[in-house]
């Protein structure tokens, strides 16, 4: 990916908006004054952000144009209003993050099927890799891992983004959340660290919907919601090499509670070396199909506010 | 001693990466393992790292420059194993 004019801007180059001070004030309001004052302040903040930030606004619109027909059966009728709702959902997710990390009890629902799957995964003692995405709110899952002694979660994160927000949470809240391994690229050292966690029965979380800035060479363009979008091969190579059970995990807001979905995806324990390339290809397509289904069901909880598709242009709209 | 370990590592590399046409004699201790030389790529490096961990219990620092140096050639790899092995 390059910086030439017209090329979609890489998410990691986009500054996460909002100054740290502003966010800290929001966290303070949420924690000391409560939910209602927070919501009252959040509204204007999100509107201000929505009006002022053209890039994420356009990215949101491009996305909503693609997903809304699948979700609602028709194109967005009031695109401007829908976009604002999308941003509001993001604001809500920030509040939920703060709540989760502050140790407030979150209404978390697992269907019996997903709960059985999670219990079995933990009981097996084999650990695993959990593929996630930037849809919904994974911090809620961290809260689950905090509440269970036998559920050890390590999150692999790319260093560039989200750092601000996490710094903020570290300072403003008491909990530390899951163990986070920050990387700029996946090296043998990273693979070793992850293998160690999994061999000890732990679970590793890795997002597979954003292309890391240094790994532009290992990118696969896959059709997603009607146009080609870049997806990283890295998580799938890791999945193949780590030889362990693979799951998908998401946490989606449903009314006032959260729905956690934990499903088996695959098991690479006996994957043959010669079959690896074919497996990676197939697994990436299955992941994208999973992502599409998540988006279709919870369209406003997609929090990739950057030009996601190859055809997206930062000057368009 | 160093040579015995290097031979062991040659076999480990060949077995792990299923390099069918390569014999231990083809691997030069000073020749770069990756990109040039044997022509292994970054995925192979990950796999080799995991095999080293399994066989010798090696740990690596997260520093990517550091691990690039260790994985440079057979000689540096042998030095790494010598220094870090626990089994």
Residues 6+ apart with CB under 8 A from A149: none
Check whether B30 has a pLDDT greater than 70: yes
CA of B66 vs chain A CAs: smallest distance (Å): 9
What is the per-residue pLDDT for A256? 84
Cβ contact A76:A82 at 8 Å: yes
Q: Would you place residue A94 in the very low, low, confident or very high pLDDT band (cuts 50, 70, 90)?
A: confident
DSSP conformational letter for B24: G
* DSSP-derived secondary structure for chain A: ----TTSPPPGGGSPPSS-HHHHHHHHHHHHHT-HHHHHHHHHHHHHHHHHH-HHHHHHHHHHHHHHHHHHHSS--SSHHHHHHHHHHHHHHHHHHHHHHHTTPPP-EEE-HHHHHHHHHHHHT---EEEEE-SBB-THHHHHHHHH-TT--EEEEEESSSSHHHHHHHHHHSS---SEEEEESS--HHHHHHHHHHHHTT-EEEEE-SS--TT-TTSEEEEEETTEEEEEESHHHHHHHHHTSEEEEEEEEEETTEEEEEEEEEEE-TT--GGGHHHHHHHHHHHHHHHHHHHHHHSGGGB---S--STT--TT--
What pLDDT, in 10s, does the model give residues B55-79?
998 888 766 677 778 888 999 999 9
The ipTM, to two decimals, is 0.80
Check whether A27 has a pLDDT greater than 80: no
Beta bridge pairs of residue B55: none
* Domain parsing of chain A, residue ranges: 11-301
Give me chain A's average pLDDT, please.
84
CA distance A68 to A83: 11
Q: Say whether B46 and A237 touch across the interface (CB within 8 A).
A: yes
Pick from A183, A188, A273: CB nearest B45: A188
CA distance A288 to A4: 28
* Between B51 and A317, residue with greater pLDDT: B51
Check whether B81 has a pLDDT greater than 80: yes
Pick from A183, A191, A273: CB nearest B18: A273
State how beta strands A108-110 and A257-267 pair. parallel
For the segment B19-36, the average pLDDT, to the nearest whole number, is 86
Torsion of CA A196, A200, A203, A208, to 10 degrees: 20
Identify the closest residue of chain B to A242 by CA–CA distance.
Answer: B50
Between A147-161, A164-178, A278-292, B61-75, the lowest mean confidence (pLDDT) is in A164-178
CA distance B30 to B76: 8
CA-based nearest residue to A251, from A296, A212, A286, A301: A301
Domain span holding position B27: 2-84
What residues of B are in contact with residue A192 (Cβ under 8 Å)? Answer: 49-50, 53, 58-60
Check whether A5 has a pLDDT greater than 50: no
What pLDDT, in 10s, does the model give residues A118-160?
999 999 999 999 999 999 887 777 667 767 788 888 888 876 5
What is the per-residue pLDDT for A132? 95
* Axis crossing angle, helix A163-172 with helix A79-101, rounded to the nearest 10: 40
What is the per-residue pLDDT for A82? 97
Beta bridge pairs of residue A156: A181, A206
**How many domains is chain B built from?**
1
CA of A186 vs chain B CAs: smallest distance (Å): 8
> For an interface test with B, which of A179, A188, A239, A242 has the most B Cβ atoms less than 10 Å from its Cβ?
A188
Most distant pair of Cα atoms in chain B: their distance? 33
What is the per-residue pLDDT for A172? 52
CA of B81 vs chain A CAs: smallest distance (Å): 14
What is the per-residue pLDDT for A304? 92
Identify the closest residue of chain A to B53 by CA–CA distance.
Answer: A192
Q: Would you place residue B9 in the very low, low, confident or very high pLDDT band (cuts 50, 70, 90)?
A: very high
Which domain CATH number covers B6? 1.10.1200.10
Q: Say whether B49 and A188 touch across the interface (CB within 8 A).
A: yes
DSSP conformational letter for B71: T
What pLDDT, in 10s, does the model give residues A226-237?
999 999 998 999
Query: Averaging pLDDT over each range in A92-101, A144-153, A257-266, which range is the top one?
Result: A257-266
Cβ contact B34:A162 at 8 Å: no
Stretch 23-52 of chain B: residues touching chain A, C-beta under 8 Å:
42-43, 45-50
What is the per-residue pLDDT for B58? 87
What is the per-residue pLDDT for A317? 38
For the segment A21-25, the average pLDDT, to the nearest whole number, is 74
Cβ contact B76:B86 at 8 Å: no
Q: Is B71 on the interface with A (CB under 8 A)?
A: yes
What's the pTM value of the predicted model, to 2 decimals?
Answer: 0.87
* b/e map A212-242, b = 16+ CB within 10 Å: bbbbeebbbebebbeeebbbbbbbbbbbbbb
């Amino acid at each position: 990916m390059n910086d030439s004019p017209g090329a979609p801007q890489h998410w990691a180059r986009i500054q996460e908006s909002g100054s740290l001070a502003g966010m800290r004030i929001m966290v303070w309001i949420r924690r000391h004054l409560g939910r209602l004052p927070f919501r009252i302040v959040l509204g204007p903040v999100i509107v201000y952000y929505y009006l002022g930030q053209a890039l994420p606004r356009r990215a949101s619109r491009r996305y909503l144009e693609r997903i809304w027909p699948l979700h609602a059966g028709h194109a967005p009728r009031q695109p401007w209003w829908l976009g604002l709702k999308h941003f509001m959902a993001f604001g809500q997710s920030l509040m939920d993050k703060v709540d989760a990390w502050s140790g407030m009890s979150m209404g978390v629902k697992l269907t019996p099927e997903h709960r059985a799957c999670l219990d079995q995964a933990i009981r097996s003692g084999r650990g695993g890799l959990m593929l996630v995405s930037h849809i919904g709110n994974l911090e809620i899952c961290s809260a689950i891992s905090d509440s269970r002694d036998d559920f050890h979660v390590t999150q692999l994160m790319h260093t560039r983004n989200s750092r601000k927000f996490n710094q903020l949470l570290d300072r403003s809240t008491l909990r530390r959340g899951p163990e986070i391994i920050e990387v700029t690229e996946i090296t043998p050292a990273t693979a070793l660290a992850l293998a160690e966690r999994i061999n000890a029965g732990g679970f590793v979380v890795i997002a597979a919907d954003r292309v890391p800035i240094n790994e532009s060479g290992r990118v696969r363009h896959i059709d997603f919601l009607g146009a080609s979008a870049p997806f990283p091969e890295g998580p799938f190579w890791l999945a193949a090499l780590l030889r362990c059970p693979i799951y998908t995990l998401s946490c989606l807001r449903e009314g006032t509670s959260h729905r956690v979905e934990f499903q088996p995806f695959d098991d690479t324990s006996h994957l043959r070396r010669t079959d690896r390339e074919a497996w990676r290809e197939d697994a990436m397509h299955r992941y994208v199909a999973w992502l599409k289904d998540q988006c279709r069901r919870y369209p406003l909880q997609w929090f990739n506010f950057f030009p996601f598709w190859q055809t997206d242009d930062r000057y368009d709209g | 001693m160093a040579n015995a370990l290097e031979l062991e590592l040659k076999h480990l590399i060949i077995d792990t990466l299923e390099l069918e046409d390569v014999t231990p004699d083809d691997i030069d201790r000073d020749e770069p393992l990756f990109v040039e030389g044997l022509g292994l790529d970054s995925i192979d490096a990950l796999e080799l790292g995991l095999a080293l961990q399994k066989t010798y219990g090696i740990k690596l620092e997260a520093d990517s420059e550091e691990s690039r140096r260790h994985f440079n050639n057979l000689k540096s790899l042998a030095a790494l194993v010598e220094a870090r092995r626990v089994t």
